Structure 1
Amino acid sequence: MKTVYIDFTDLGDYDDFYAQLKEKLTLPETFGDNLDALYDSVTGFVELPLHIEFVNMSVEQLETFEDLLVTLEDAEEELEDFTFSYFLVQYEDDEQ
């Protein structure tokens, strides 16, 4: 299974996300930078099996990209060969 990592360390908005996604996935030329196009691409155009993993997300980004997470969770439910996960940034506790 191919795994694509999207690092959220320097992502501020959806434009940043789509730029990174286009670098890592072979998307059709007609791909529009929106969630419907992403869903259509994952469920019909990208090579499966595929796992997309978001790393270094902040709590703020969870809120900003909530619709994105829901879209990929929907695709995961629809497809047998597609999985998706995300991981939050881990902060060190200086008081220990």
Structure 2
Amino acid sequence: MSSDNKLKIDSISSTFGMSKFQFIRYFNTQTGITPYQFFLNTKVERARALLEKEKDIYLAVNECDFVDLTHLNRQFKRVYGLTVNDYLKQIQ
């Protein structure tokens, strides 16, 4: 995983003149989710777009920096309510 694909809460919070914990609380209050959850949701959405385009599960795992298929499946199911395989079956 390249360092560009990691969530850098310390850097983001200092940009807004807040501590890391102040930023997390503020973000959660404004959006209803934590910055990390937002980051994961963005990765899952990117994986879904790759799946629709390439139909390759392991490409999505690698390109979106998930640890493994289990990690992607857990996050994908939390967001979309079904596993990656089930999603692929639906769109084919």
More helix, by proportion: 2
Q: Which has the higher contact order (CA 8 A, sep 6+)?
A: 1
Same fold (TM over 0.5): no
More strand, by proportion: 1
TM-score (norm 1): 0.26
Q: Which has the larger radius of gyration?
A: 2
TM-score (norm 2): 0.27
